A and B are shown apart, each in its own frame.
Chain A
């Protein structure tokens, strides 16, 4: 059981947009920064978003994120088949003194 809650899967057609939610509590998302990771099958995770809504260099602006209260959302526009991957939200939990993740969301681009 993950501390953060994500939908197990989302899907959309190429060119469309999708939103992946991440829900937590005041001890994690509510008071700390959120990051997002992309993980293709059999490979290491890759940082997609940090500090709630910032993109590292090299990440296209099709990827965006926001945070409100105890929830965060990753948005992807102009979907490509190459975006099919698992996406994880992560943050620090001040009560647990631990980095915590959501269970991951598998994106299917139909």
Chain B
């Protein structure tokens, strides 16, 4: 069974740090891009960032709202993706999801990007409050 399980959420004070984990099973983890998302209470989905596999030098992309504060990494030997969150703000309060990202590109005159998330974890809740 293809599965993703997030962990590491909790209550943290503003300005502090937290590291989330996303454990994968049922597929060859290293072959896939992994993305992180979040959903604030009562709000829509927000992409946080992604990390590509070794074939693409584990390059990363981040949303402007978290760039410089959040870092995504991966350990393919353990099938885990991480989201290190520093300098947390109250507005970072959300359910955080990891997902398998089926990133691909086609060149038909212009570059056409394809990103769709076909496997999602159940999420872990992060509450930033004093």
Interface residues of A (CB under 8 A from B): 2, 31-33, 35, 37, 39, 43-47, 50-51, 56, 86, 88, 90-92, 94, 96-104
Contact = CB atoms under 8 A, between A and B. Distances in A.
Q: Which secondary structure dominates where chain B touches chain A?
A: strand
Contact of A98 (B47, B99, B114, B122): B47
B118 A47 contact: yes
A91 B102 CA distance: 12
Contacts of B102: 50
Contacts of B35: 99
Contacts of B44: 2, 86, 88, 101-104
B57 interface: no
A72 to B, nearest CB: 13
Contacts of A101: 44-47
Closest 8 CB pairs of A and B: A35-B116, A99-B47, A92-B113, A50-B116, A33-B114, A44-B120, A104-B44, A32-B113
